[in-house]
Amino acid sequence: MKHRRRSKQQKLNSLPPPTPPATRAPCPMPRPSASPKSPPPATPPPEQGPEVVVPEDWALATDAISSDLSSPVVLVCGPSNSGKSTFTRLLLNKLLPSYGRVGYLDTDVGQPEFSPPGCLSLHIVDEAITDMRNPVLREADRCCFYGDISSKGDPESYLNSLFLLYTYFVEKYRCPGSEMLPLIVNTPGWVKGTGFDMLVEMLRYICPTIVVPIRTRMQRKNLPDGMFWLTGGETEPKVITIDAASRDSLSKSSLKRKDGGGMRERRLVEYFKQCFSSDISLATNKELAYALASLPPYEVPFSDVTVMHLHCEVPRTEIWHSVNATIVGLASSCDTPATAHAVPWCVGLGIVRGVDVQRGLLYVITPVDVQHLQSVDLLLQGLIEIPRSVLQVKGCESPYMSTNVRDKITGKDLYASNLNSPLSRQDDGDSDSGADTM
């Protein structure tokens, strides 16, 4: 992507004001607003609670797996909220001292371990996890942007991404002469209907050497017993079935239902905080919202990029408007694996901050470094939304939203009052360009 970052002097308020007036954002920069606003939605706090419980069968399982010195490929499966992620974290920490580096294939697009939502990713982990309840973002070795929080919408492209990542891992880390790293595969909790069929496909493709099914007390939610994915004649893996850690030492339930939406929001906030150096204070949503809105974006000519809509079709005439105020995956057509149904590798995410149709420019904010951005020529648009906590901040006009946007939850027009504010009228008068600003 032949882009240039706007200099600090070319602050965003120098962006051309947007048209058409009916859909214009009130202001491309956050400014104090006189109009009353509802309190900003806070980013939900990270999960708190008692320490992770390690039941005896979990300890025996991690001992058995770590004593398998032939670099196991371990797939952990089971119903939603059964403890798969928690178990894989424990296992990762257990394997690290023996191997130094462990592969981790993150396949849960709704609640990924180390990536922002919507991504399937392969990580080569060399540092133990310290917070067993809230793991932090880690840079992926390879990532595919699937663009949704559930594989339901497009199981085929989901599986293609997963197979691609696994093949990449095998070719790079498990071929003769390579390190032969062990691999942990964490799977989604959707294990009924199509979700079950997809798990079977996954198991057949990956052929793990060890499978760890986790059982809950609700029998009807569990996977079938035995090697349900084998058709006969294949090499049988070791199966180590464990029970969900449903009771802690205080006899309270350990399985706290997770706030998936909150976790996704925190992940995105954490991801876009990487746009700033760590010495900038971004303790609150407001600080982050201001900082993001003030960050000089990259200017990207339309001619340098192609938009790929992953989960919908968009008329040609609407393509550029459709990416406005959205989160996109950044990818390169040159770095697309030469396989059938190839999915381009994603180098990171960006927020399309504004679109100037007349000048043919997109304005993009991203923490991805310039070196990686050089080759980006694909914008992958899915259904991952900008966090509400960054969209609505008390005391400033949202720079990411047009006045005709409706609140999904309340169904009310957002910022309708801004249409009549002196600030937006002033912007109306300035309008001379085709920019659609977020």
Ligand X SMILES: Nc1ncnc2c1ncn2[C@@H]1O[C@H](COP(=O)(O)OP(=O)(O)OP(=O)(O)O)[C@@H](O)[C@H]1O
Residues lying near ligand X in the complex (CB under 6 A)? 47, 52-53, 78, 80-86, 108, 111, 133, 189, 245, 254-256, 258
CB of 163 to ligand X, least distance (A): 21
CB of 369 to ligand X, least distance (A): 30
- In this complex, which beta carbon is closest to ligand X, that of residue 53 or of residue 64? 53
Report d(CA 307, CA 114) in Å as an integer: 26
- In this complex, which beta carbon is closest to ligand X, that of residue 158 or of residue 345? 158
- In this complex, which beta carbon is closest to ligand X, that of residue 77 or of residue 361? 77
Report d(CA 132, CA 48) in Å as an integer: 11
CB of 17 to ligand X, least distance (A): 44
Name the H helices within 238-318: 260-273, 285-294
CB of 58 to ligand X, least distance (A): 7
Q: Which residues contact 112 (CB under 8 A, 6 or more apart)?
A: 106, 119, 120, 121, 267
Q: Report which DSSP code applies to 355.
A: E
- In this complex, which beta carbon is closest to ligand X, that of residue 254 or of residue 402? 254
Q: Report which DSSP code applies to 420.
A: G
The CB-nearest residue to ligand X is 189
CB of 125 to ligand X, least distance (A): 17
Q: Report which DSSP code applies to 302.
A: G
The three-class DSSP label of residue 306 is: strand
- In this complex, which beta carbon is closest to ligand X, that of residue 250 or of residue 340? 250
* Burial class of 369 by CB neighbour count within 10 A (0 to 12, 13 to 18, 19+): exposed
CB of 102 to ligand X, least distance (A): 18
Q: In the chain, count of helices (H) and strands (E)?
A: 10, 16
| Residues 183 and 123 sit within 8 Å (Cβ to Cβ) | no
What does the chain come to in residues?
438
CB of 83 to ligand X, least distance (A): 3
CB of 404 to ligand X, least distance (A): 36
- In this complex, which beta carbon is closest to ligand X, that of residue 47 or of residue 407? 47
- In this complex, which beta carbon is closest to ligand X, that of residue 46 or of residue 367? 46
Nearest CA to 182 out of 62, 310, 10, 50 is that of 62
Question: Percentage helix, strand, coil, to 5, in the chain?
Answer: 30, 20, 55
CB of 326 to ligand X, least distance (A): 25
The three-class DSSP label of residue 247 is: strand
For 248-332, list the strands marked E by DSSP: 298-301, 306-309, 327-331
Q: Which two tokens stand for residue 406?
A: 């409706």
- In this complex, which beta carbon is closest to ligand X, that of residue 80 or of residue 402? 80
- In this complex, which beta carbon is closest to ligand X, that of residue 113 or of residue 397? 113
Report d(CA 25, CA 435) in Å as an integer: 10
